[in-house]
Amino acid sequence: MTDTTLNLSHQLKLPCGAVLANRIAKSGMSEQLADRDGAPTDKLRRLYACWARSGAGLLITGNVMINRDGLVEPRNIVLDDDRNLADFATWADTVHAGGTAAVWMQINHPGRVATVPFTRRPVAPSAAREPVPGYNLRKPRELTGTRIQELIRSYGRTAELAVAAGFDGVQIHAAHGYLLSQFLSPLANTRDDHYGRDAVGRRRALLETVAAVRAAVGPHVPVSVKLNSKDFQHGGFTESDSLDVAVALADAGVDLLEISGGNYAEPAMEGVHHTGEAYFADYTRKVRDRVDIPLMLTGGLRTRATMETLLRDGVDLIGMARPMAFVPDYPARVLAGEAEPVLPAGPRPLGYRPLDGYLQLAAHNAQFHRIADGRTPHTHAGLGTVLRALGKMSAAMAGQAVLPR
């Protein structure tokens, strides 16, 4: 049922009882601002101090790795034990001191798309290569059933530590081609045991992860899942599959389902399959017809008019990502009714989707580092900016000391 009176400034009460201050959230974007041990840095805290004043009611962190045997990028945050818990507590405190925003930790494992220098042999649901240059050089090891259960417990442990450090909730990343997304994909998961075989088996690892996280954080802490609408790959995770997973997640008691789409091979989350606003709105309407849990839509949203139309159509929370890399207070401007800022177009597409998506990510990451250094973001995102960002990423990769077991 839709509510024609909703607007962006209204609070959102989640099933667990937590309340968000308004209907705009910063969606997770990988910051790559950890120290050599995977701990939060002063730069990361400066970035979040800025976003804490952004006007958003919720900040969802970028990738926080559940253990050290796989990183998505160099300088990812890692939370797999309590060695740096005080640094994580300071990170959460930074957000809480800056305003009314809640902060949730996005927890993740890369599976077969782990960063090359730190994982010579990545793991995956099946021994199938990622079809993207760079990743397809390495054939992953198929996870044993015992190792899958260990990883599921690791998700629960990271969630427990996040809440102990003062984070207000957690989001399980099951989109964009990472490990739990790989389990959902018929292309990446060809197992013949109860973690594969059919659609029910392929979603088992995700549902068991949700149960482990819920058990770790208790009934009153928000537990969210980020889910692809589809993978945009022939023979992969389809919209029909995704709708069934959404129903299963609602039955499992998640507090918020964030909808996105795509992966490294088909980076739909970066807009390569779409024009205009609200990349995944049609799918979201179909989910709303099937479930009544809160829904967050991320991807291509820019204008207040579109955002409020979506709220009245059944979306509960508006997710913003790229705009907040270039205009950190974008939510506050939208909430105030100001004209939406003009955003840079980003690097010129080269025509190869995986590379175009990666260049977009590099352009965003360059702005995070500028904000973290106390500088204002660029008003452009040309190739020169991206190349400098890639140089910094390479230097970070060379100096990374978080090594896999």
Virtual torsion, Cα 43, 269, 302, 168, nearest 10 deg: -50
CATH number where 139 lies = 3.20.20.70
The pTM of this model reads 0.90
In a domain, 380, yes or no: no
Quickly count: other Cβ atoms within 10 Å of residue 388's Cβ: 13
248-252: Cβ within 8 A, 24+ apart: 248/203, 248/207, 249/206, 249/207, 249/210, 249/225, 249/291, 249/293, 250/290, 250/291, 250/292, 250/293, 252/207, 252/210, 252/211, 252/214
- Look at residue 200 and tell me if it is in a domain: yes
Mean pLDDT of 274-295: 85
CB 150 within 8 A of CB 107: no
Kindly state the percentage of the chain with pLDDT values over 70: 80
Predicted pLDDT of residue 382: 55
Alpha carbon distance 186, 184 (integer Å): 7
Q: What is the mean pLDDT of residues 321-345?
A: 89
Between residues 5 and 75, which one has the greater pLDDT?
A: 75
In a domain, 35, yes or no: yes
The count of domains in the chain is 1
Question: Predicted confidence band at 387 (pLDDT cuts at 50, 70, 90)?
Answer: low
From the CB of residue 384, how many other CB atoms can be counted at a distance below 10 Å? 10
- Of the candidates 120, 83, 85, which has an alpha carbon nearest to the alpha carbon of residue 105? 85
Give the lowest-confidence range in 7-16, 292-301, 335-344, 361-370: 361-370
pLDDT attached to residue 389: 53
Question: How far apart are the C-alpha atoms of 256 and 294, rounded to whole Å?
Answer: 5
Look at 77-91, 175-189, 351-365 and tell me which has the smallest mean pLDDT.
Answer: 351-365
Least reliable range by pLDDT among 46-50, 67-71, 310-314, 326-330: 67-71
The DSSP annotation for 34-47 comes to B-TTS-B-HHHHHH
Tell whether 190 is covered by a domain: yes
392 domain-assigned: no
Domain extent, residue 227, equals 12-343
| 42-52 helix and 353-372 helix, angle to the nearest 10 degrees | 90
Q: Is residue 224 part of a domain?
A: yes
What 3-state DSSP class applies to 247?
A: helix
Name the residue type at position 166. Answer: G
pLDDT tens for 141-178 read: 999 999 999 999 999 999 999 999 999 999 999 998 99
Rounded to whole angstroms, how far apart are CA atoms 304 and 368? 24
Which tens digits make up the pLDDT trace of 80-101? 999 999 999 999 999 999 999 9
Going from the C-alpha of 27 to that of each of 30, 173, 229, 310, 318, the distances in angstroms are: 10, 11, 16, 17, 9
Residue 44 counted as domain residue: yes
Is there a domain that residue 3 lies in?
no
Closest CA to 12 of 1, 25, 2: 25
The token pair at 151 is 């990883």
The secondary structure of 1-17 as a DSSP string is ---TT--TTS-EE-TTS
Task: Out of 16-30, 349-363, 373-387, pick the least confident.
Answer: 349-363
Distance CA 215, CA 170 (A): 13
Average pLDDT, the chain: 86
